[in-house]
Amino acid sequence: MAKDIPVYDGDMWGRDAILNSRTTDDKIRELAPVVWLSRENIAIMGRYNEVAGGLTDWQSFSNRSRPWHDPNSVRPEILLTDDPPRHTEIRKVMAKVMSPPKLKALTADFERTANDQVARLMARSGEVIDANVDITRPFVHKVLPDLLGMPNEGRENMSAFGHMVWATMGPMNQVFHDALVGSEPVVVWADKSCTRENMRKDGLGEATYALADAGEITHDEAKLLVMTILAAGSDTTVITMATAIRAFCEFPGEWQKLRANPSLLRNAFDESLRWDSPSRMAGRITAKEVTIGDYVLPAGTRTGLLFAAANRDPRKWQDPDRFDIERDLKGHVGWGFGLHSCVGKIMAQLEMEALFGALIKRVAKWESAGEPEWWMTTIGHGPYKLPIRFIAA
């Protein structure tokens, strides 16, 4: 007979829980393979096997809905709210827009921007600066809108736009409402900047609209995809690279290892995704009754999958709090896993290789210069501000 699912009465998405998300998420994971959140009336899973299993088994864990998903919401959605066959069709379109050769051709632009920005940064060696605000954000906020072909005007809205998107994917709590204050002009800017007439003709935005001309998607879907790239591709990359710098402050030997062997760069990036995952959780809905060990989830159960907790599950990872750029990372869920795994992975990797490729050559070491200020969103996680010092090589 199925056992009662253990209940957690605490708040996982309030300010305190967000500030201490590591402790909160680990508590859930250690409670049971599946836990019932009484405040939200949803199930949540934090152990590696259950999270990876849920992401793989899309027939049981559908993307058609998820915790807090409101089908009548004004927020338009695509891909993450689709199951096959529609999901497969849209992924095919995305694969055309962002094919590896197309992205690879842009590497020279990424490298040029990274080298320029890092060369200018060197004047600040020894000063207290902010890893997010002064290093990772200016880079991503230039290359991503350039890549899409967005106008230059209004790009200072990118942080506010990303924050608004990531803070409103969770429950409608204070964090959600705070993020909406003053957000209207930001939404108007994003909408206008992703409108075809306002985009350059040689960007990924226009390439997406061209697939609508060819009948592969509708023009509304094309716009939605362009806005999805903007929303999903910006802060995730900014934060992951800032997290990597935080890790190099805490584990200085790993930076020396990377400088000695830059071929470890991709693994180092993935290790920072595992060590402190920027996508804290994903959501699904059970399409049928699902058995998780001794517990049963009825069909129609909205379920959260805690990437961050699974990526630190000691059942899977030895010494999970250690940042180890040579770790075997096969199966980590920092990019998700299975059908919905990150469509922008190659783009993010190319950005990181360009920026860190330049930093490796010029930065001898990183030092922490204070506590991070955490990104106050329900679903995204990581250092929004990160005081550091670097010493030029």
Residues of this chain that bind ligand HEM (CB under 6 A): 79-80, 91, 228-229, 232-233, 236-237, 240, 273, 278-279, 282, 307, 334-336, 340-344, 347-348
At its nearest, how many Å lie between ligand HEM and the CB of residue 214? 20
Cis check for the bond before 320: say yes or no (omega within 30 of 0).
no
Residues 6+ apart with CB under 8 A from 188: none
At its nearest, how many Å lie between ligand HEM and the CB of residue 125? 27
Q: Where are the beta strands (DSSP E) in 80-195?
A: 129-130
Q: Nearer to ligand HEM by C-beta: 211 or 232?
A: 232
Bridge-based pairing of strands 281-286 and 295-297 is unpaired
Q: Nearer to ligand HEM by C-beta: 175 or 273?
A: 273
Closest to 303 (Cα-Cα) out of 64, 14, 13, 26: 64
Q: Nearer to ligand HEM by C-beta: 78 or 389?
A: 78
At its nearest, how many Å lie between ligand HEM and the CB of residue 368? 22
At its nearest, how many Å lie between ligand HEM and the CB of residue 341? 6
Residue 378 near residue 169 (C-beta atoms within 8 A): yes
Residue 233 near residue 347 (C-beta atoms within 8 A): yes
Residue 310 to residue 308: CA distance in whole angstroms? 6
At its nearest, how many Å lie between ligand HEM and the CB of residue 282? 3
Q: Nearer to ligand HEM by C-beta: 228 or 377?
A: 228
At its nearest, how many Å lie between ligand HEM and the CB of residue 249? 19
Residue 154 near residue 239 (C-beta atoms within 8 A): no
Identity (one letter) of the amino acid at 240?
A: T
Question: Which residue reads 């469509």 in tokens?
Answer: 343
Residue 132 near residue 355 (C-beta atoms within 8 A): no
Q: Nearer to ligand HEM by C-beta: 229 or 376?
A: 229
Q: Which residue is nearest to ligand HEM (CB)?
A: 344
Helix (H, G, I), strand (E, B) or coil at 155: helix
Q: Nearer to ligand HEM by C-beta: 94 or 175?
A: 94
Q: What is the DSSP string of 327-350?
A: S--TT--BTB-GGGS-TTHHHHHH
At its nearest, how many Å lie between ligand HEM and the CB of residue 181? 26
Q: How far is CA 53 from the centre of its chain?
A: 20
Q: Nearer to ligand HEM by C-beta: 320 or 389?
A: 320
